[in-house]
Amino acid sequence: MHPPPTTFASAPIRWARVNLFATWSNAVLTLTGAALSLWIVAAILDWAVFSAVFTGADGSACKAEGTGACWPFIQAKMGLFMYGRYPDAERWRVDLTYVLALAALVPLMIPRVPGKLWLTIYLLLAFPLIAYVLLRGGLFGLVGVPTELWGGLLVTLVVACVGIAASFPLGILLALGRRSELPIIRYASIGFIEIVRGVPLITVLFMASVMLPLFLPGDITIDKLLRALVGVALFSAAYLAETIRGGLQSIPRGQYEAADALGLSYAQKMGFIILPQALKLTIPGIVNSFIALFKDTSLVLIIGLFDLLGIVQQSVQSDPKWFAHSTATTGYVFAGVVFWLFCFGMSRYSAFLERRLATDRR
């Protein structure tokens, strides 16, 4: 006899029986995990919703015992968290910069949208100049806004995006340089990679911000944000170089020999044969480095640049109007959620690229 057909209602029960309650130990672990999950979710909902404060002009409403999240603090400081001390009347320039970036980035990330070459040229060549003019000002009638007034999410995105855009080609060059047959290029690349990877990012930022001006003539000054951008880009490039080098070493020797047999030059061989395969295989590692770079932007606080986390910490500690036992926790949770959203988005897009490019060679 044939078994009775599986109905829509019995399918979940069958799946739970096979995957969650197959043995007594699986059943105990399932019930324990479910109870722990319910307890965590209930505690989060109680803190964020049921015991939270949603209205108030200061922190007095959040000082009561047992009070949860102090959401009026986030509402009152939202402009500071997003823009730092950027002038209120000029914040439209920041918003316009975001719109111009997304107008090209979103189509570039969608595979079916045509014009990828022009979108890439715009993002790499035209957009940086437009963004610099909009954010810094001083040209075309725009009021100049020094980088000392930038802060919050603006600084986080500037440091992360510039670091990612600059470190990726530098990492490719360093990876190729480390495998070069020319001793000078090979040893120079190895020396740079090993020295940078041997020190923490805080040391690199400290050197770029404090020590570098000591070696420059007194009449030459370099913007503090620019120094941080260079330090972050070089630091990330050293780690990306090792990730990409691993991809280069995983390519079979026959691919190199086939390219040589076709009479391709070194640039053609790497650009058309080797690098596309190596970069496809190292997508998880590359995106992992980008996520780490995005989170490491919070370290720019050590040199006096207030990113999102830094501006939250400053707001909690410097404004007595909002002193309350839950204010700091609410601010840090808000910053953590923002960081998680960006990192999770990069992770999901990485998984999408892996499936689309079939990096497992199935």
pLDDT at 9: 52
Give percent of the chain above pLDDT 70.
95
Which pLDDT belongs to residue 211? Answer: 75
CB 350 within 8 Å of CB 287: yes
Structure tokens at 55: 């209205």
pLDDT tens digit string along 30-82?
889 999 999 999 999 999 999 888 888 887 888 877 788 899 999 999 999 99
Would you state the pLDDT for residue 361? 53
Measured distance CA(340)–CA(346) in Å, rounded: 10
Q: Where are the domains of the chain?
A: 72-87+145-357
* Region 91-112 average pLDDT: 92
- Residue among 343, 334, 345, 347 nearest 82 (CA): 334
Buried b (16+ CB within 10 A) or exposed e, 4-15: eeeeeeeeeeee
pLDDT at residue 113, as a whole number: 87
Residues paired with 307 in a beta bridge: 152
The pTM of this model reads: 0.87
Q: What is the pLDDT of residue 103?
A: 92
Q: How high is the pLDDT of residue 68? A: 86
Q: CB 203: neighbour CB atoms within 10 A? A: 15
Instruction: Kindly state the average pLDDT of the residues 174-188.
Output: 92
pLDDT surpasses 90 at 290: yes
pLDDT of residue 4: 56
Question: What number is the average pLDDT over the span 97-115?
Answer: 91
Query: Which residue's structure tokens are 């105990």?
Result: 28
Does residue 215 carry a pLDDT above 80?
Answer: no
Q: What CATH number matches the domain at 72-87+145-357, 1.10.1130.10, 1.10.3720.10, 1.10.1270.20, 3.40.50.10490?
A: 1.10.3720.10
Kindly state the average pLDDT of the residues 338-353: 93
| pLDDT score of 65 | 78
Residues 240, 331: Cα–Cα separation, whole Å: 32
Q: Distance (Å, rounded) from C-alpha 50 to C-alpha 16?
A: 32
